[in-house]
């Protein structure tokens, strides 16, 4: 009887792992599917780059506005209801982004888009930490790896469809349909309310008042700041500082993104083999070393190699930090994740602006070098985070 119970629990956990990977994949799919639509939206609405920047800011604003309330919602409703609700709202909101032609309405739709992704981010990580804990093995890096695969699939498939002459509305409609199907497939194995541990006390500020959560949140800020710099400035750096042609400069970020994806897919095996402390220490040092190559040697191909090293090194830092946030004993996971993620998103939004500000008054190489300092802070903190 005991053997049958253990076998059933193990089977349930495997099914929950598959469902969690599915949710991470569709979250990345839905978020990245928007990127190829940006030029079409700009043209349809008839706005300049400044107005487009304000619209894009609505995505980050929507995420940050909802995150302080996600812990309460997850505590009350559970991961399953939150993930399914957010997922189906995503299926409705994505097609709207291809139809709206008024700036204010587009801003509202993007605000909702950001809120959906923000609450999905917290809910799926809350599920992931519980599923990982019950499995008894490292799983978080693999879950985040499926988000990366979804991101590549979303941006790539929509780009190909648009290149083939398929309309934006039909292209995004296919993505929304796929997301809805994946949600239905995963729904039965998502965690219900009774499986969310910890009592509901306070909110984001309550969580950040605890030293461990604040410490992890600040490290997430530094890592997300670095990731934001890679996303928004790597192509420009290669073009302006290393003389790479504009048509080829995007290859740097592509190589970085592929390295992140591969690193996350193999990250769990490495964590199980060498432990989270060594993984966090070596990963942050690898990323810092890669950035040092990028900023100190004025050779284009070395910069490409450096960006690959940054991607490999940084790939498992966030999963390890999220694992630490979910397993600390001061605050329940459904309160810890919104706090840590919120501070991380501030870094993601502030990072590119900070890089631009420093570059304006010095140069882009010096601005990029600041991210090395951020990664070294993670290295120094590795033991305290993982103990």
- Please state, in angstroms and rounded to a whole number, the distance separating the CA atoms of residues 147 and 150: 5
- The predicted-structure confidence for 40-91, as pLDDT tens digits, reads as follows 888 888 877 677 777 877 888 888 888 888 878 887 888 899 999 999 999 9
- DSSP-derived secondary structure letter, 189: G
Secondary structure class of 193 (helix, strand, coil): helix
- Please state, in angstroms and rounded to a whole number, the distance separating the CA atoms of residues 367 and 386: 30
Q: Which residue has the higher pLDDT, 355 or 220?
A: 220
Helix axes 333-361, 364-386, angle to 10 degrees: 160
pLDDT the model gives residue 379:
95
Q: Is the dihedral of CA 25, 372, 312, 285 positive or negative?
A: negative
Among the ranges given (151-160, 289-298, 351-360), the one the predictor scored with the smallest mean pLDDT? 351-360
Q: What is the CATH code for 1-193?
A: 1.20.1250.20
Locate tokens 């998502």: which residue? Answer: 190
**Domain ranges, ordered by start, for the chain:** 1-193, 203-387
Residue 332 — pLDDT band, cuts 50, 70, 90?
A: confident
Residue 197 pLDDT exceeds 70: no
Here the tokens at position 374 are 């951020």
Among the ranges given (20-29, 60-69, 212-221, 328-337), the one the predictor scored with the smallest mean pLDDT? 328-337
End-to-end Cα, the chain, rounded Å: 37
pLDDT the model gives residue 345:
81
- The predicted-structure confidence for 372-381, as pLDDT tens digits, reads as follows 999 999 999 9
- The predicted-structure confidence for 127-137, as pLDDT tens digits, reads as follows 888 898 888 88
- Please state, in angstroms and rounded to a whole number, the distance separating the CA atoms of residues 375 and 381: 10
pLDDT the model gives residue 8:
61
- Please state, in angstroms and rounded to a whole number, the distance separating the CA atoms of residues 3 and 25: 33
Residue 2 pLDDT exceeds 60: no
- Please state, in angstroms and rounded to a whole number, the distance separating the CA atoms of residues 78 and 245: 49
Among the ranges given (30-39, 245-254, 341-350, 374-383), the one the predictor scored with the smallest mean pLDDT? 245-254
- DSSP-derived secondary structure letter, 136: T
- Please state, in angstroms and rounded to a whole number, the distance separating the CA atoms of residues 34 and 371: 27
Judge whether 33 and 175 are in contact, CB under 8 Å: yes
- Provide the 10 A C-beta neighbour count for residue 280: 26
Here the tokens at position 224 are 């997300």
- DSSP-derived secondary structure letter, 188: G
Residue 196 — pLDDT band, cuts 50, 70, 90?
A: very low
Range 259-272 average pLDDT: 91
Average pLDDT, the chain: 85
Q: Which residue has the higher pLDDT, 201 or 243?
A: 243
- Please state, in angstroms and rounded to a whole number, the distance separating the CA atoms of residues 55 and 39: 13
pLDDT the model gives residue 49:
65
C-alpha of 345 from chain center: 9
- Please state, in angstroms and rounded to a whole number, the distance separating the CA atoms of residues 360 and 233: 13
- The predicted-structure confidence for 278-321, as pLDDT tens digits, reads as follows 999 999 999 999 999 999 999 999 999 999 999 999 999 999 99
Residue 203 — pLDDT band, cuts 50, 70, 90?
A: low
Q: Do domains 1-193 and 203-387 have the same CATH topology?
A: yes
- Please state, in angstroms and rounded to a whole number, the distance separating the CA atoms of residues 174 and 29: 11
Which of 1.10.287.4070, 1.20.1250.20, 3.40.50.150, 3.20.20.70 would CATH assign to domain 203-387? 1.20.1250.20
H helix intervals, the chain: 2-32, 38-45, 49-96, 103-135, 140-163, 168-186, 204-208, 211-242, 246-296, 300-314, 317-327, 333-361, 364-386
pTM: 0.79
Judge whether 323 and 340 are in contact, CB under 8 Å: no
Residue 272 pLDDT exceeds 60: yes
Judge whether 252 and 311 are in contact, CB under 8 Å: no
Residue 6 — pLDDT band, cuts 50, 70, 90?
A: low
Residue 198 pLDDT exceeds 60: no
- Provide the 10 A C-beta neighbour count for residue 133: 16
pLDDT the model gives residue 284:
96
């Amino acid at each position: 009887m005991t053997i049958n119970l253990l076998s059933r629990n193990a089977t349930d956990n495997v099914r929950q792992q598959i469902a969690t990977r599915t949710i991470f994949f569709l979250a990345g799919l839905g978020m990245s599917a928007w990127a190829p639509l940006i030029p079409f939206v700009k043209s349809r609405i008839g706005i300049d780059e400044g107005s487009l920047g304000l619209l894009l800011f609505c995505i980050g604003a929507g995420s940050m506005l909802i995150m302080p309330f996600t812990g309460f919602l997850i505590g009350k409703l559970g991961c399953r209801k939150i993930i399914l609700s957010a997922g189906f709202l995503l299926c409705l909101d994505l097609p709207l982004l291809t139809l709206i032609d008024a700036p204010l309405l587009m801003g509202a739709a993007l605000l909702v888009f950001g809120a959906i992704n923000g609450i999905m981010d917290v809910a799926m990580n809350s599920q992931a930490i519980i599923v990982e804990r019950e499995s008894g093995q490292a799983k978080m890096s693999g879950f985040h790896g499926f988000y990366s695969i979804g991101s590549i699939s979303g941006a790539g498939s929509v780009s190909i469809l648009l290149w083939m002459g398929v309309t934006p509305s039909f292209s995004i409609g296919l993505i929304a349909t796929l997301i809805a199907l994946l949600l239905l497939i995963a729904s039965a194995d998502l965690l219900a309310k009774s499986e969310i541990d910890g009592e509901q006390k306070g909110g984001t500020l309550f969580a950040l008042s605890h030293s461990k959560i604040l410490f992890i949140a600040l490290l997430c800020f530094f890592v997300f700041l670095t990731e934001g710099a890679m996303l928004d400035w790597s192509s420009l750096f290669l073009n302006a500082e290393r003389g790479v042609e504009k048509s080829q400069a995007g290859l740097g970020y592509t190589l970085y993104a592929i390295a992140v994806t591969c690193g996350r897919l193999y990250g769990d095996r490495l964590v199980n083999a060498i432990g989270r402390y060594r993984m966090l220490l070596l990963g942050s040092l690898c990323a810092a070393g890669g950035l040092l190559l990028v900023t100190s040697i004025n050779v284009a191909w070395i910069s490409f190699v450096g960006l690959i090293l940054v991607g490999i090194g940084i790939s498992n830092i966030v999963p390890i930090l999220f694992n630490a946030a979910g397993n600390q004993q001061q605050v329940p996971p459904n309160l810890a994740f919104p706090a840590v993620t919120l501070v991380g998103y501030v870094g993601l939004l502030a990072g590119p602006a900070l890089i631009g500000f420093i570059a304006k008054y010095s140069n882009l190489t010096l601005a990029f070098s600041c991210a090395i300092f951020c990664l070294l802070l993670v290295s120094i903190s590795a033991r305290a985070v993982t103990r």
